[in-house]
Homo-oligomer: A and B are copies of this chain.
Amino acid sequence: VIDFTLGEPHLSHETYSVIKESLEKRMLSQHIGYSNFYGVMELRENVANFCSQQYQQNYDPENEMIITTGCSESLSAVLMSLINPFDEVIILEPAFSLYQSIVTLCGGTVVTYNLHQTNMRLHASKLNELISPKTKGIIINSPNNPSGHVLSEEDLSVIYECVKDKSIFVISDEVYRDLVFDNNKYVSISAFDSLRDQLFIINGFSKTFAMTGWRVGYVLGPKQYMKKIGIVHQNLVACTSTISQYACIEALKNTQLTTIMVQYYKRNRDYVYEQLKPYVEDIIYPQGAFYLYFKPLNNQQSSLEYCKKLLLDKKVALVPSLAFESEDSGYVRLSYCCDFETLKEGIIRIQKFQKII
């Protein structure tokens, strides 16, 4: 089976081979105990410098940042701190399924804006309609999993205008922000300075440093909320794996790892988009991340059925839209963060399948 289901960059050994020497020295000389529960200070300082220089996001490593067990735990800790039962949280679909699950776990209600209906653009009137006195937050994710779609400056303005001066939190999952192709400049919603007191930025090492297995993410946010988030974080996991945090200190010295990855996956992106376009009903053009979200057929067949048949007939695994949308849109997700030869073989199989189905 060629497995295109995982959002896991295949270049993880590249990272390890680069960081291993320093990491080993560190493990031999430093105590491998609990870290400060907000995270190893050296890592927090380096992340703060990185975010400031690379992203113009200026956060105090002392009390505006928490190192978490991957971005999943960032999300959990933030949502568990902010969301009370019956609070509403707006999610832009298609979306990473975890947003829905964690909001539900917190007793909150998910309100969805399905971007398919407005051609992947945000309409202010439609977004405003979803806002109620119960709205506690909006979760955005750009570049998006599963579509690779990047929110434009206009889209971000729409969000900003809808939430500013309201007690609505914005949770911006920016874990794919360094994986943007074609030299496009990434714009974060953090560019709206006046949003700062209601904004939480989530990012991490899993995707851009191919370090999924190390489980390190971080959340940046206003000081007045970080203490509570820190307490939830401490309840959930005590602290993040110290070894993993040491590894991330080393990785951060090697931003060329991300450059290599962007080059590699841009080639994959171009290939997969060009090769599949003539064979399928629709593809959302992926400006970033490493996913292709496409609609293989023009009829109403369920994406789940399509994935099952493809797996059975051609031994290729994709993820159906059910994992990302409340209703089956017919789309499927293909992760192309694999080596090029595997990708080619899988695409040929999908092309063959499209001809016979």
Contacts and interface: CB of A to CB of B under 8 A. Distances in A.
A284 B101 CA distance: 45
A224 to B, nearest CB: 20
Given A6-B34, A76-B235, A240 B215 contact: yes
Complex copy number for this chain: 2
Nearest to A240: B215
Contacts of A107: 85, 107
B243 A247 contact: yes
B243 A73 contact: no
B237 A105 contact: no
A80 interface: yes
Interface in A14-42: 15-16, 20, 24, 27-28, 31-35
A107 to B, nearest CB: 8
Interface centre among A33, A35, A70, A85 (most CB of B within 10 A): A33
A35 B73 CA distance: 16
A237 B215 contact: yes
Contacts of A101: 231, 235
Contact of A244 (B98, B239, B244): B244
Contact of A235 (B6, B33, B105, B240): B105
Contacts of A34: 6, 8, 212-213
A232 B98 CA distance: 11
Interface string A136-168: 000000000000000000000000000000000
B243 A214 contact: yes
Contact of A241 (B13, B76, B231, B243): B243
A172 interface: no
Contacts of A28: 16, 20
Contacts of A231: 101
Interface of A: 6, 8, 12-13, 15-16, 20, 24, 27-28, 31-35, 69-70, 72-73, 76, 80, 85, 98, 101-102, 105, 107, 211-215, 231-232, 234-244, 247
29 contacts: A6-B34, A12-B31, A12-B33, A16-B27, A16-B28, A20-B24, A31-B213, A32-B213, A32-B214, A33-B212, A33-B213, A35-B213, A69-B73, A69-B215, A69-B237, A72-B235, A72-B236, A76-B236, A80-B105, A85-B107, A102-B235, A213-B241, A213-B242, A215-B238, A215-B239, A215-B240, A215-B242, A241-B244, A244-B244
